[in-house]
A and B are shown apart, each in its own frame.
Chain A
């Protein structure tokens, strides 16, 4: 099997794998019963295990090294197809958009502690800042599209309040800063009347050049769900952030961030500005998280303190860890698992925090590198053999 596989081009193996993944996703999203969902999860787990044993996984990661752009395009196209299949259904589109929004957030967190080692246990707070910005923008009469840049900006600026303690502290001391902020933020939302108190605020729909996201577009005689708008926008946002984070990682800047995470003293002795790197990562990460939060606010139509608690921050951290620290593809996969599983499995909806905590503990104990561990940095794809 492995022998035969090595004769097929890696990219073809990857393409087939992605296609199978797409088919699986379509079938999976259509299931209603818990039994069917659980069987499919078991099937996926077995397939993943068998695929790894047979060397498919190795070939796919080879393809990801050789043609990263091609793989990314294929996956984005797969996402688009998935949206097309469910174009009329609210629920699957809402799921897909949520996955992509959470994946974006986790990419932002990845810049912070996956690359730079700046811990952030207030991810949900910065996400919330973005979401509350969208509510305020919508009610102020400004064009709703502005909530995206403004959400990113406010998250970054409010994050600046924490920059001094975050940069000066290390390890556990840094953790307490963001944990304290996370709790402080939620309490602040609950007691602040201007932000709606415990009830929160409602958010108007996104509008872009007269295109109202609250209405489902009608195309080719199909009445699409209005969530299609948000799913498309989430796809665009995720793609943009993905490319940005990818490029950041595969550059001298990404190397400096890694060096800061792995050995501050060593990095300082080779001229790397520790504070500069940390501030850069913290601010950029928060901006990305705030951007995603703004879109989330518009899509949900309301924001309330209960969506931005410390436990939510932990779930975001769990996504990063589950996928593999610093691994963008792992992050997306983990976001899909963490968002979709409890929604599809109504039986476990109630138990989701318990399950996630158990899964994360198991990951930390038995597979600390995550589901798709990050590979060694290749700044550019190596020259293909025989492609002179």
Chain B
């Protein structure tokens, strides 16, 4: 029972992180019909920015964990939001009319560039960094099962971010503008919406959410490294794809589904838990064979 509970909380945790990443992919696809594969590495940059901010805050004498946490979150969010908007402005918008594969490739390469830059230029960037524990460490005991407060806080925060995003998209003027741009560039422009601005804001928003995921990942594992974004980005992309691109709920579903697959893989093959990623990705490939446009398919767009 305790082991199962552990798997459950772990799966919930991972699912939340994956969903946060996947939501970014689906937002970008929604407004521009592009895949920004550097998303995972933007997340990594967010985690490193947060880490740097926490260390700097500590060095400046703000030793209270809450102060450090605030610094971490503010700087991680701001840094990735700016980075996301910059990528959209200088890499993605100029390539808007190029073949879609070119944008995928360009952002894949950008991801590599970000990853390598951190590895080469961040002080001792090639080694993992110990992310500080900034959350309360108390725990609740339910029979054999221990629920740690930090896990609970992280999961609740992540879900709150997802709900907040949902409200933002569906209940605010900004959300309306994003949805209009996602529908059709021309219509959005005739409605008087500043198309470029909304695209940049969407990319900033999606990237900021990735930073949340990055910081969550750091706080949960107490470790970050320059390569963390590759796998997280790939999982987020897969989650967005199996959910069905451009669909917010599909992305969330995909994120939790992927985490569930990893947990099932780990439980079903305790003798070879290293195979859990192999299992999860194999299922992704099989899902693509079964539902080539995702579980919740996007609107068909090939006009004849």
Contacts and interface: CB of A to CB of B under 8 A. Distances in A.
Instruction: Please determine whether chains A and B interact with each other in the same assembly.
Output: yes
Interface of A: 113, 117, 119, 121, 162, 164-165, 168-173, 175-177, 179-181, 183-184, 187-188, 190-191, 265, 310-311, 314, 317-318, 321, 350-351, 353-354, 356-358, 360-361, 364-365, 368
Nearest to B112: A357
Main secondary structure of the interface of A (DSSP, over half): helix
17 contacts: A165-B289, A172-B100, A172-B104, A175-B101, A176-B238, A176-B288, A183-B231, A183-B277, A184-B278, A184-B281, A188-B278, A191-B278, A311-B112, A354-B120, A360-B105, A364-B102, A364-B105
Given A310-B230, A364-B102, A169 B112 contact: no
B120 A351 contact: yes
B74 to A, nearest CB: 29
Interface string B224-242: 0000001100100110010
Nearest to B242: A176
Main secondary structure of the interface of B (DSSP, over half): helix
B274 to A, nearest CB: 4
Contact of B106 (A164, A191, A365): A365
A117 B106 CA distance: 17
Contact of B288 (A119, A169, A310, A361): A169
B281 A173 contact: no
Contacts of A168: 288-289, 292
Contacts of A358: 109, 113
B284 A357 contact: no
Interface residues of B, number: 45
B221 interface: no
B167 to A, nearest CB: 28
Nearest to B100: A171
B230 A361 contact: no
A113 B102 CA distance: 12
Given A176-B237, A176-B238, A180-B238, A351 B288 contact: no
A352 to B, nearest CB: 9
B94 interface: yes
Contacts of A171: 100-101
A314 B234 contact: no
Contact of A364 (B95, B275, B281, B284): B95
Contacts of B275: 187-188, 191
Interface in B286-301: 286, 288-289, 292-294
B94 A365 contact: yes
A57 B203 CA distance: 42
Contact of B117 (A350, A354, A368): A354
